[in-house]
């Protein structure tokens, strides 16, 4: 066997299943792209695919908008927007919510497509990569700090220096933990779902599938759709809450 060849007998079951389901031939490990450092090529490709799908979806849903007889896709998008705006207004107030709605709506739609894309055979959810979710959560963290500074000035930083417990600034520790919990929550749920689906697809033989063995996969796919939708909502809702906590009139 040549160096670098895959040996299924030397790998665990999960690695073997991922190898067998790697229809598009993506590298199993990080690769150096254009000298920019180690990157997960599959995550990058899937991220661009999802962005294209989101653009296509939003264009189709809004290209022929009507007041009297709106289409089904238009109604769906409007209801999602109205629901998210209600949450934003409740937490931020009308003025601040209006300034945040483009981000909030885009974030939810993008995360929803990301989470569900991995359920398509041979595809992968970009949110099943911690680099994606942590990158997004750190961006939201920075946004919250900027919003707090914008609305409160330098007085925003007062709450970070009190209270102290055992000489530790508790508010700073709590604030720094937000991006970790924010990012790992969605990553853990989406990655776990993809792992189980991959194992089910890789271990259930064709004969068992014909005899009804696909039932477990279908049930888990249905549950994963529910989980993907809920996790997109939770991440978006926490974004609203974190910005609200930073920009609220009374911290």
Residue ranges covered by each domain of the chain: 12-247
Q: Is the pLDDT of residue 39 over 70?
A: yes
On whether the CB atoms of residues 19 and 202 are closer than 8 A, the answer is: no
Which residue reads 């009139």 in tokens? 249
* Residue 82: burial class (beta carbons within 10 Å; 0-12, 13-18, 19+): exposed
pLDDT band at 47 (very low <50, low <70, confident <90, very high): very high
Q: Parallel, antiparallel, or unpaired: how do β-strands 168-169 and 31-32 relate?
A: unpaired
Provide the Cα torsion 45, 58, 231, 226; round to 10°.
-100
SS3 170: helix
On whether the CB atoms of residues 79 and 184 are closer than 8 A, the answer is: no
Q: Which pLDDT score is estimated for 13?
A: 57
Per mean pLDDT, which range of 21-25, 41-45, 130-134 is the poorest? Answer: 21-25
On whether the CB atoms of residues 216 and 200 are closer than 8 A, the answer is: yes
Q: How far is residue 18's CA from residue 37's CA, in Å, rounded to a whole number?
A: 24
Q: Parallel, antiparallel, or unpaired: how do β-strands 168-169 and 164-165 relate?
A: antiparallel
* Dihedral sign from CA coordinates of 110, 113, 117, 119: positive
pLDDT band at 151 (very low <50, low <70, confident <90, very high): confident
End-to-end CA distance of the chain: 63
On whether the CB atoms of residues 142 and 208 are closer than 8 A, the answer is: no
Partners of 168 in the β-ladder: 165
Q: How far is residue 29's CA from residue 7's CA, in Å, rounded to a whole number?
A: 15
Q: Is the pLDDT of residue 220 over 50?
A: yes
Q: Which pLDDT score is estimated for 72?
A: 85
Which residues have a Cβ under 8 Å from the Cβ of 163 and sit 6 or more positions away?
170, 171
The tokens for 57 are 């979806």
| pTM of this structure | 0.82
At 166-208, the pLDDT tens digits run: 556 677 778 888 999 999 999 999 988 887 777 776 665 544 4
Which among 129, 120, 171 is positioned nearest to 148, based on CA atoms?
A: 171
Q: Which pLDDT score is estimated for 37?
A: 63
């Amino acid at each position: 066997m040549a160096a670098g060849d895959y040996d299924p007998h030397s790998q665990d079951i999960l690695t073997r299943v991922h190898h067998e389901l790697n229809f598009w031939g993506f590298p199993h490990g990080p690769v150096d792209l254009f000298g920019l450092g180690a990157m997960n090529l599959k995550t990058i490709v899937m991220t661009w695919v999802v962005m294209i799908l989101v653009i296509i979806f939003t264009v189709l849903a809004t290209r022929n908008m009507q007041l009297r007889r709106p289409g089904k896709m238009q109604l769906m998008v409007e209801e999602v927007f109205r629901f998210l705006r209600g949450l934003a207004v409740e937490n931020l107030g009308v003025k601040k919510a209006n300034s945040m709605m483009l981000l909030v709506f885009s974030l939810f739609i993008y995360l929803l497509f990301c989470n569900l894309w991995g359920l398509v055979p041979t595809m992968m959810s970009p949110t099943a990569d911690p680099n994606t979710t942590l990158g997004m959560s750190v961006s939201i963290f920075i946004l919250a700090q900027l919003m707090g500074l914008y609305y409160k000035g330098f007085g925003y930083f007062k709450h970070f220096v009190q209270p102290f417990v055992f000489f530790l600034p508790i508010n700073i520790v709590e604030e720094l933990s937000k991006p970790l919990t924010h990012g790992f929550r969605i990553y853990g749920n989406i990655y776990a779902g993809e792992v189980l689906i991959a194992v089910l697809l890789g271990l259930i033989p064709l004969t068992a599938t014909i005899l009804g063995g696909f039932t477990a996969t279908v049930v888990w796919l249905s549950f994963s759709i529910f989980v993907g939708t809920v996790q997109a909502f939770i991440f978006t809702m926490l974004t609203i809450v974190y910005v609200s906590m930073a920009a609220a009139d009374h911290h």
